[in-house]
Amino acid sequence: MLRRTTTYDELVRRFGWSIPERYNIGVDVCDKWAALKPQADALLYLDHQGRLSRVSFGDLRAFSNQLANALRAAGVARGDRVGILLPQAPETAYAHIAVYKLGAIALPLFTLFGPDALEYRLHDAGVAVLITNSEGQAKVEALRARLPKLKTVFSVDPDAPCKLSLREAMASCSEIFDAVDTSAEDPALIIYTSGTTGKPKGALHAHRVLLGHLPGVEMSHDFFPQSGDLIWTPADWAWIGGLLDVLLPALHHGVAVVAHRFARFTGEAAFAMIREFGVRNVFLPPTALKLMRAASSRDASLKLALRSVASGGEPLGTELLNWGRETLGVTINEFYGQTECNMVVSSCATLEAARPGRMGRAVPGHAVEIVDAEGRVQPPDVIGEIAVRRGDPVMFLGYWNNPQATRDKFVGDWLLTGDMGVKDEHGWLKFEGRSDDIITSAGYRIGPGEIEDCLITHPAVQMAGVIGKPDAERTEIIKAYVVLKPEIAATDALAQEIRQFVRERLAAHEYPREIAFVAELPMTVTGKVIRRELRALAVAESHRPI
């Protein structure tokens, strides 16, 4: 959607949104290319055994149409929610496409979620059908009695102990499917994002969300796509960073995507992936970049063909930017956004030099300002809250089943990000910190509320407060301050037991890496934990001499 120029100002002047009234993500990313170049690669999939398979756009159309017919036969209708609990794999891509073609609503789910996290999301969204694998099926079967709306579970694994094999269901279905005629404003997917208190909130997005992402993706990848581009990210497709920053925008442009699920991400494995496939474009969270930087010091023969590297989720520093130029051969472009309104700020090395400490300027088409508590735009270099003007195509429709939280997200014409920042006279934005309690750890944005709720279900825990503690590698680690029930002794073994308890019930990235047992928590008069005092304590601990 961006027309290449030589200056940022000209890029903004020449930009205009083109959002059709009738639009369907599934048709856009699949069927148009299947008609134009059916044999071209859409996905290059490396499985956990090291076997490579190629999925063409023609394959993607056939598979997604078969699955759409199978889902319709299973009773899925327009507006129904379909859960997709899968890693990066071809089935994940054509499951999304099939759901969009049906006019249903996709709910991507992280494979490392534990039972509590899965149960809440599946129940809150009212998921009727789930597509998963053997691992996911085992987790969900134990929850079925508490998920009355979940009628059907398909497994992609041929040997899964599941009554409904996805392959068998698809095999009997036609490869022809007439996609539902959807409006650009019709709902397409729900992505849950953790809030600062209480349960996670489901950000409901319309089909237009993909079109809203395109300028930011194109800008952060130095005018993507270009001839020979091939893109990859280690970010799971269950998150907005993997799904809407990489997979769907690349397919929209007819660019192939490399898919692989690492058993464990390492810098060495990432470099090997980029070399093996000749990857040209990558989205890498800063934590991944830090691990790769450590690995690169041990490998002098990287031989990369990278054209663009984009990063987001945490601020980049001078050291990481310099390393990118020296080792990766490119300037890393930083972008900013959140699940509710993503990819609204970016740098673009093709247009102008990066400014360490500044995350970029507003992507064309997005009005991003610094506002005060009343929604008044602030002058340059005055700190306030980063906000995005209503009416933006990338902006969510609202929180699923939570109209009050949706209202609270706005002040006047502005969506409030919850992040504090400043904007200079040239429009460059700087992130100054969070106005809420969101924890940024290894590229994940994590709300403490769900972790605290999980902690207090442990039989030894009476109260808990969760915060992010500064950490050199992960930006922050999750730390829990725990008040035990009377007569319970604080021991290292108990701390480990509680850590594992949370890890098993929520996710591997959401358990507290540190637990401190305390006699009491700082509380407000209304009974809320004062997390800023806990954060101050954690910061003091970080600076304490050993």
Structurally, at CATH architecture level, domain 441-542 sits in: 2-Layer Sandwich (3.30)
CB proximity list for 36: less than 8 A, separation 6 or greater = 254
Helix (H) or strand (E) holding 171, with range, is helix 166-171
Side by side, the strands of the sheet bearing 475-484 are: 461-471, 475-484, 514-517
Give the model's pLDDT for residue 546: 43
CB 393, CB 209: distance < 8 Å: yes
Average pLDDT for the chain: 92
Q: Dihedral through CA 99, CA 105, CA 110, CA 116, nearest 10? A: -130
pLDDT-derived band at 25 (thresholds 50, 70, 90) equals very high
Alpha carbons 326 and 349: distance in angstroms, whole number: 15
111 pLDDT exceeds 80? yes
Residue 142 corresponds to which amino acid?
A: A
375 pLDDT exceeds 60? yes
Long-range contacts of 534-542 (CB under 8 A, 24+ apart): 534/465, 534/467, 534/479, 534/481, 535/467, 535/468, 535/469, 537/481, 538/467, 538/468, 538/469, 538/470, 538/479, 539/469, 539/470, 541/469, 542/469, 542/470
449 pLDDT exceeds 80? no
pLDDT-derived band at 543 (thresholds 50, 70, 90) equals low
Q: Dihedral through CA 333, CA 334, CA 335, CA 338, nearest 10? A: 150
Give the model's pLDDT for residue 58: 98
Q: Cα-flanking dihedrals φ and ψ of residue 534, to 5°?
A: -70, -40
pLDDT-derived band at 524 (thresholds 50, 70, 90) equals low
pLDDT-derived band at 474 (thresholds 50, 70, 90) equals confident
Helix (H) or strand (E) holding 471, with range, is strand 461-471
Give the model's pLDDT for residue 160: 60
What are the residue ranges spanned by the domains of the chain?
1-18+209-335+342-365, 20-207, 367-436, 441-542
Give the model's pLDDT for residue 85: 98
Structurally, at CATH architecture level, domain 1-18+209-335+342-365 sits in: 3-Layer(aba) Sandwich (3.40)
94 pLDDT exceeds 60? yes
Of 502, 542, 530, the residue nearest 437 (C-alpha): 530
- Evaluate the CA torsion angle 414, 246, 439, 422 in order and state its sign: negative
**Same fold: 1-18+209-335+342-365 with 20-207:** yes
Alpha carbons 154 and 79: distance in angstroms, whole number: 19
Residue with tokens 């929604």: 375
The fold of 367-436 is Luciferase; domain 3 (2.30.38)
Alpha carbons 325 and 186: distance in angstroms, whole number: 42
- Domain 20-207 class in CATH: alpha beta
> Among the listed ranges 34-38, 181-185, 299-303, 307-311, which one has the minimum average pLDDT value?
299-303
Give the model's pLDDT for residue 162: 57
Give the model's pLDDT for residue 196: 46
Alpha carbons 375 and 345: distance in angstroms, whole number: 19
CB 78, CB 102: distance < 8 Å: yes
User: Mind listing the pLDDT tens digit for each residue in 157-179?
Assistant: 977 655 689 999 999 999 999 99
